[in-house]
Amino acid sequence: MANIGLYIELKEGVFKKSNRELLSLARKSGQPVHAVLFCPDVQPYLEELKGIQTVIQVQGADLTYQPDRYARTLAAIIQEFKLDIVCGIFSAQGKDLFPRLAAKAKAGLVNDCLAVDLDNRKAIKPVYSGKLLAEYQIDAGTALFTIRPNVIAVETTTATKAPEIKTVTLDNGELQTKIVSVEKSASQKIDLTEAEIIVSGGRAMKGKENFAILEDLAKVLNGGLGASRAAVDAEYASADMQVGQTGKVVNPKLYIACGISGAIQHFVGMKTSKIIVAVNKDPEAPIFKKADYGIVGDLFTIVPLLKEEFKKVLS
């Protein structure tokens, strides 16, 4: 029987929604599950963590994310607790941390998984800019997997027993990579990688101020606000809004693309969306070949109408 480790990612102390997907996957395996949290107090998260064997709490004077220290600490935990498989979220932090961890722990790694078979140590992930799906199997050593958000159904547990808590100390060794500063966005935006609904705009938005109409629609839908690279390069939108090959990979239930032509670089970042709606005045735009629903028309006319219709439906 394999020991499964889960790297539980906290964002400013908040338990990320995607952690529940990891927990659902691990609980279904029927194998011992050990969750690792870097935090001074695990008590606020124990309700979410019921139904697993162990919570491994990493303590230290400064638990600010530092990739070197986190990777060395996790590598030591893998060895001490004899973890056979470790899963994390395919997030900005996961993409940074897990390759480092793979090197430290001499482990195999499959990033950006759309499905994971823990029993057989197999995973399916997109390759060649999302044109194909490939299956990988890690036969020896520790297997590491990072899983794309919104691909695993979250299942509530009926378990009532709280997990055993064990503590380890953060590795405070020398840093080769130092985070000098963190610049936070002025507004409290929904994390696009976890958003269930995203409204995105392209170069056709014509200006930064015009993103307000997309923001209004996103607020009605309680969704996130995204952008194409062209819109970001034109400084219509901030870099943290960029969806695509060089931006964020998203997987919402609904993706509304407004004034986005549908270049492959953008499509690979949102192709696994459950439903894609395109709004574009060019009937020959490539996005219509990939969308589930398409509206040919001026987005500055269509988007306000969509907002009003959604308000009526949701009320």
User: Helices (H) and strands (E) in the chain — how many of each?
Assistant: 8, 17
Residues 137, 172 contacting (CB under 8 angstroms) = no
Across 187-196, average pLDDT: 84
Q: Residue 187's pLDDT is what? A: 62
How confident is residue 201, by pLDDT bands cut at 50, 70 and 90? very high
What does pTM read for this prediction?
A: 0.87
Let me know if 139 is exposed, middle or buried by CB neighbors in 10 A (0-12, 13-18, 19+).
Answer: exposed
How confident is residue 180, by pLDDT bands cut at 50, 70 and 90? confident
| Strand pairing class (254-258; 275-280) | parallel
Over residues 10-48, the pLDDT tens digits come to 988 899 999 999 999 999 999 999 999 999 999 999 999
Across 98-127, average pLDDT: 96
Across 156-170, average pLDDT: 89
| Strand pairing class (10-11; 14-15) | antiparallel
What does the alpha-carbon distance between residue 227 and residue 208 come to, in Å, rounded to a whole number? Answer: 11
In sequence order, which ranges of the chain are alpha helices (DSSP H)?
18-29, 67-80, 92-105, 211-220, 229-233, 264-267, 287-290, 299-314
Asked if pLDDT for residue 197 goes beyond 90, the answer is yes
What does the alpha-carbon distance between residue 147 and residue 16 come to, in Å, rounded to a whole number? Answer: 13
Q: Residue 186's pLDDT is what? A: 64
Percent of the chain having pLDDT more than 70?
99
Closest by CA position to 201, among listed 192, 210, 191, 188? 210
**Sheet of 132-137: strands edge to edge?**
115-117, 122-127, 132-137
131 is written with which tokens?
């044109």
Closest by CA position to 246, among listed 131, 149, 129? 129
User: Where does CATH 3.40.50.620 sit in the chain?
Assistant: 4-169
Beta-carbon count within 10 A of 215 CB: 16
- Higher per-residue confidence, 73 vs 189: 73
Across 256-270, average pLDDT: 93
Contacts of 92 (CB under 8 A, 6+ apart): 193, 248
Contacts of 250 (CB under 8 A, 6+ apart): 192, 193, 195, 198, 226, 243, 269, 270, 273
How confident is residue 145, by pLDDT bands cut at 50, 70 and 90? very high
Four-point Cα dihedral 106, 110, 116, 119, nearest 10 = -30
Asked if pLDDT for residue 237 goes beyond 70, the answer is yes
Residue 177 is classified by DSSP as S
User: Is residue 85 left, alpha or beta, with left meaning phi > 0 and alpha meaning psi from -120 to 50?
Assistant: beta
Q: Residue 158's pLDDT is what? A: 82
Q: Residue 55's pLDDT is what? A: 97
Q: Residue 190's pLDDT is what? A: 86
User: Where does CATH 3.40.50.1220 sit in the chain?
Assistant: 197-314
Min mean pLDDT across 142-146, 181-185, 263-267, 307-311 is at 181-185
Q: What is the rounded radius of gyration, in angstroms, for the C-alpha atoms of the chain? A: 21
What CATH class has 197-314? alpha beta
Residues 3, 83 contacting (CB under 8 angstroms) = yes
Residue 103 is classified by DSSP as H
- Ranges of beta strands (E only) in 115-273 are 115-117, 122-127, 132-137, 143-147, 164-169, 197-201, 224-227, 254-258
Closest by CA position to 9, among listed 33, 123, 17? 17
Q: Residue 177's pLDDT is what? A: 80
At residue 35, the 3 state secondary structure works out as strand
Tell me which CATH code domain 4-169 carries: 3.40.50.620
Mean confidence (pLDDT) of the chain: 93
* Exposure letters 31-49 (e unless 16+ CB within 10 A, then b): bbbbbbbbbeebeebeeeb
- Higher per-residue confidence, 159 vs 250: 250
